[in-house]
Amino acid sequence: MEHDGRTDEPDKRTLRREFLAVRNRLTPDVVREAGGTLAGHALELPELAGARTVAAYVSVGSEPGTAALLDALRARGVRVLLPALLPDNDLDWGEYAGAGSLTRIQHGGKMALFEPSGERLGPDAVTAADAVLLPGLAVDARGMRLGRGGGSYDRVLARLERAGARPALVVLLYDTEVVARVPAEPHDRPVHAVVTPSGVRRFPGA
C-alpha cells in the first residue's frame, strides 16, 4: 500500500532509531522477564478471554517477548495465527502449533523471523481474528502506534477495514514506549489498548 506525501517520515525515522537504541541496550534477562509479566496482563484482557482466533506474532531480538503469551493462548484452545512475510512486505498467515512448528526465515538483509512452517492460509486469513496483537516501537495518548516502517501492518489494518472486520487491536510494548505523541499520517489507525509489563492502558476513541 503506497502513500504519498509522507511529511512525517523523517520524524518517524528519528524516533524509530531512538526507541531501537534503547531496546538494544536491554539484557536478555530483562526482555524475558518483561515478556512473562506482559503475558499475564494480556491474558486478563476481556478481548482475549473471549477470543476464538487471535492474530499474533513471534517476537525477535529485544522486542517484548511473546512466547509465553502464544503458548498460554494455545493452551486455552485459542486458534493463534502467525504472520509470514511475503516478498512485497505483505503478510500471509499460518496457524501456531507450538514452538516446534516455527521455522527461522532470513529475508534478505532484514532481521530473521520465526514463521509458521505449516499450511499458508492467505493474507485475508487475518480478517477472521477476534483480536490482533501488533508489534510496534511506541504508542501515544491517542492510541496511535509507531511501527518499524516496513508497512506490513499498514496493509493488515487496511485489509481489516476493507473487509469490515472489527477485531480488538492491541500493541505490546515496554513501559517507556508509551509516550505523549508520535507522528501520525491520514492512513494510520489507532489501537484499542496497549499492554506493557506494568499493565494495560485503553484508548476509548479507537
115 is known to lie in a ligand binding site = no
Residue type, 187: H
23 is known to lie in a ligand binding site = no
57 is known to lie in a ligand binding site = no
* Phi, psi (degrees; rounded to nearest 5) at 13: -60, -40
13 is known to lie in a ligand binding site = yes
151 is known to lie in a ligand binding site = yes
155 is known to lie in a ligand binding site = no
Q: Where are the beta strands (DSSP E) in the chain?
A: 53-55, 79-85, 91-95, 102-105, 113-116, 131-134, 138-139, 145-146, 168-172, 193-196, 199-202
Q: How far is CA 2 from CA 6, 10, 13, 147, in A?
A: 10, 17, 17, 16
202 is known to lie in a ligand binding site = no
12 is known to lie in a ligand binding site = yes
91-95 β-sheet, strand order: 91-95, 79-85, 53-55, 131-134, 168-172, 193-196, 199-202
**Would you give the distance in Å from CA 170 to the centre of its chain?**
7
Residues in Cβ contact with 76 at an 8 Å cutoff, skipping those fewer than 6 apart: none
176 is known to lie in a ligand binding site = no
157 is known to lie in a ligand binding site = no
Interatomic CA distance for residues 122 and 128, integer angstroms? 12
15 is known to lie in a ligand binding site = yes
147 is known to lie in a ligand binding site = yes
174 is known to lie in a ligand binding site = no
150 is known to lie in a ligand binding site = yes
Binding residues for ATP: 12-16, 145-153
| Residue stretches of the annotated binding site | 12-16, 58, 63, 145-153
Annotated binding-site residue numbers for substrate = 58, 63
